[in-house]
């Protein structure tokens, strides 16, 4: 994926780490697709774990829309259990579920103050919904940070005519 050159890589802000995963199992209704009238400034698929990526963006023509789709690492386990039906024999049951260590986080900061303007993600303190969207409706000088673990994430950033 070629880089259109709108974002400038920068050093991420240091953040405390926690290994505690707190998935929330909620799924909002599917939204109808909207025609794209914005300029694509970033469109990449990132395989985590890897270092946090950070970019500077002077947003002069809002909005900034960041969409992400997370494909968490899947865990498969086989459980042996006795059936309550028929011959009541032991069988192997296969279970597949997202890794509890799969997560992704988008943080948008004001570059002047370092304060967080918006934040959303997948896993840990955020939803278990694999798709997310952040909307920034006002101009400003922003730093966008992308971090994650045990997941493959497609990130699409668009702006209103940079």
Domain of 118? 37-72+100-159
Residue 92 lies in a domain: no
Residue 85 lies in a domain: no
Residue 82 lies in a domain: no
Q: Which residue has the tokens 């971090």?
A: 147
Residue 111 lies in a domain: yes
CATH of the domain at 120: 2.60.120.380
Token pair of 133 as six digits: 């969207």
Residue 54 lies in a domain: yes
Structural domains counted in the chain = 1
User: Which ranges constitute the DSSP H helices of the chain?
Assistant: none
- Residue 22: its pLDDT value, please? 57
What are the pLDDT tens digits along the chain (162 aa)?
567 778 888 888 877 665 555 555 566 667 777 666 789 999 999 999 988 999 999 999 999 999 999 999 999 999 988 888 878 888 888 999 999 999 999 999 999 999 999 999 999 999 999 999 999 999 999 999 999 999 999 999 999 865
Residue 83 lies in a domain: no
List beta partners, residue 156. 43, 67
Residue 42 lies in a domain: yes
| CA–CA distance, 162 with 153 (Å, rounded to integer) | 24
- Going by DSSP bridges, is the β-strand pair 131-136/64-72 parallel, antiparallel, or unpaired? antiparallel
User: In the chain, how many H helices and how many E strands?
Assistant: 0, 11
| CA–CA distance, 111 with 130 (Å, rounded to integer) | 28
Residues in the chain: 162
Q: For residues 127, 131, 137 and 139, what is the CA-based torsion angle, rounded to 10 degrees?
A: 100
Residue 86 lies in a domain: no
């Amino acid at each position: 994926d070629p880089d259109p050159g709108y974002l400038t890589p920068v050093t991420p802000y240091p953040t405390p780490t926690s290994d505690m995963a707190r998935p929330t199992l909620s799924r909002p209704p599917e939204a109808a697709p909207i025609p794209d009238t914005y300029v694509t400034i970033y469109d990449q698929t990132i395989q985590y774990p890897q270092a946090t990526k950070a970019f500077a963006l002077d947003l002069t023509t809002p909005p900034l829309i960041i969409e992400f789709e997370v494909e968490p690492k899947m865990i498969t386990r086989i459980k042996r259990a006795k059936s309550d039906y028929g011959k009541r024999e032991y069988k192997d049951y296969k279970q597949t579920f997202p890794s509890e260590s799969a997560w992704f986080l988008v943080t948008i900061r004001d570059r002047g103050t370092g304060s967080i303007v918006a934040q959303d993600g997948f896993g840990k303190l955020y939803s278990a919904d694999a798709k997310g969207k952040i909307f920034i409706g006002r101009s400003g000088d922003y730093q966008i940070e992308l971090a994650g673990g045990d997941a493959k994430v497609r990130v699409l950033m668009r702006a209103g005519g940079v």
